[in-house]
Amino acid sequence: MTTLKRLTPALLVLACSGWLLSACSSTQVIKSNSTPAISATDVMPDNLYLDIAILPLGPGIPESEEEQDKQIIIPDVRRAESRYIAYQLKDTLELTGNWGAVRVMPAMSEAVDLQISGEILESNGETLKARITATDATGRQWVSKVFEDNASKYSYRASMEDPFQDFYNDIANALLLERQQLKKDQLTNLRQVTRLKYANGLAPDAFGGYLTEKRGRTSITQLPAQNDTMLNRVAKIKVREDLFVDTLDDYYGNFYREMKPSYNEWRLATYDESLKLKEMKAKAYKAGAIGVLSVVGGIYGASQSNTWAGQAAGVAAVGGGIMAGKVALDRYQEAEIHAQSLRELSQSLGAEITPHVLSIEGRTIELTGTADVQYQEWRRILKDIYAEETGLPVK
Partner 1 sequence: MMPEATSAGAPSDVFSDSEGNPPQAENTEDTESSEGGDSGLASDGGDPSEGASEGASGEASEGSPEDGLEADAPGTSAGDPSSDAMEAARIALEEAGMAIGTAADAVSSASSDEELAAAEEALANARVSIIIAGQDLAQARQVLTESDAQGTASGASGATGESSIDAAEEALANATLAIVVATGAIMDANAGFPDDAQRLPSGGVLTNMPGTGQGSELDAELEASLIIFDGRIEESRQAVLSPGAPSTRTGLPPRQPRKQSGTSGDAQEDTDMATSADVADAVDEQRPQTDTQSSGMGRGASQAAKAAGATDMIPDDINDGQNDDIVAQQLREAALAETDVALREKLWEEYRRYKSGQ
Residues of this chain, 253-282, that bind partner 1 according to CB under 8 A:
253-254, 256-257, 260
What part of residues 321-360 is at the interface with partner 1 (CB under 8 A)?
none
Alpha-helical (H) ranges within the chain are: 2-24, 65-70, 75-96, 153-157, 165-180, 184-202, 204-207, 229-304, 308-390
Chain residues 191-220 in contact with partner 1, contact rule CB under 8 A: 191-192, 195, 206, 209
For residue 213, give every residue at least 6 positions away whose Cβ sits within 8 Å of its Cβ, in sequence order, or none: 139, 219
Within 10 angstroms of residue 325's Cβ, the number of other Cβ atoms is: 18
SS3 109: coil
Task: Name the segment binding partner 1 (CB under 8 A); options: 75-83, 120-128, 138-146, 227-235.
Answer: 227-235
Say which DSSP state 73 is in: -
Show contacts with partner 1 in window 232-251 (CB under 8 A): 232-233, 235-240, 242-244, 246-247, 250-251
Q: Could you say whether residue 223 binds partner 1 (CB under 8 A)?
A: yes
Q: Which stretch binds partner 1 (CB under 8 A): 62-70, 129-137, 348-356, 376-384?
A: 376-384
Site size toward partner 1, by CB under 8 A: 77
Residue 102's SS3 state is strand
Minimum CB–partner distance for residue 108 and partner 1 (Å): 19
Q: Smaller CB distance to partner 1: residue 22 or 222?
A: 222
Using CB under 8 A as the criterion, what x/- string covers residues 28-47 for binding partner 1? -----x-xxxxx------xx
- Is there binding between residue 153 and partner 1 (CB under 8 A)? no
Alpha-carbon distance of 60 to 132, in angstroms, equals: 13
Distance CA 302, CA 390 (A): 101
60 backbone φψ class: left, alpha, beta (φ>0; ψ -120 to 50): left
Residues numbered 68 to 127 that lie near partner 1 (CB under 8 A) are 88, 91-92, 94-97, 99-102
Is residue 92 within 8 A of residue 172, CB to CB? The reply is yes
Is the four-CA dihedral 72, 74, 77, 81 of positive or negative sign?
positive
The nearest distance, CB 179 to partner 1, in angstroms, is: 14
- Comparing CB distances to partner 1, the nearer of 145 and 236 is 236
CB closer to partner 1 out of 142 and 198: 198
27 forms part of the interface with partner 1 (CB under 8 A): no
Beta bridge partners of residue 217, listed in sequence order: 214
CB of 364 to partner 1, least distance (A): 10
Q: How far is the CB of 349 from partner 1 (least distance, A)?
A: 19
**Is 155:125 a contact under the CB 8 Å cutoff?**
no
Residue 281: which residues within 8 A CB-CB, separation 6 or more?
331, 332, 335
Report how far residue 311's alpha carbon sits from residue 320's, in angstroms, rounded to the nearest whole number. Answer: 14
**Shortest separation between residue 162's beta carbon and partner 1, angstroms:** 5
Q: Judged by CB, which is closer to partner 1: 111, or 339?
A: 111
Q: CA angle, corner 193, sides to 192 and 199, nearest 5? A: 90
Residue with smaller CB distance to partner 1, 79 or 195: 195
Query: In the bound complex, what is the minimum distance in angstroms from residue 90's beta carbon to partner 1?
Result: 9
Contact string 160-179 vs partner 1 (x = CB under 8 A): xxx--x--xx--x-------
Of 244 and 332, CB closest to partner 1: 244
Answer for the pair 182, 48: CB distance below 8 angstroms, yes or no. Answer: no
CB of 365 to partner 1, least distance (A): 12
Q: Which residues lie across from 135 on neighbouring strands?
A: 115, 141
Segment lying near partner 1 (by CB under 8 A), choices 69-77, 113-121, 178-186, 372-380 = 372-380
Of residues 230 and 287, the one with the C-beta less far from partner 1: 230
Which residue(s) pair with 141 in the sheet?
Answer: 135
Dist. CA 317–CA 298, nearest whole Å: 5
Binding part of the chain for partner 1, among 140-148, 294-302, 321-329, 371-379 by CB under 8 A, reads 371-379
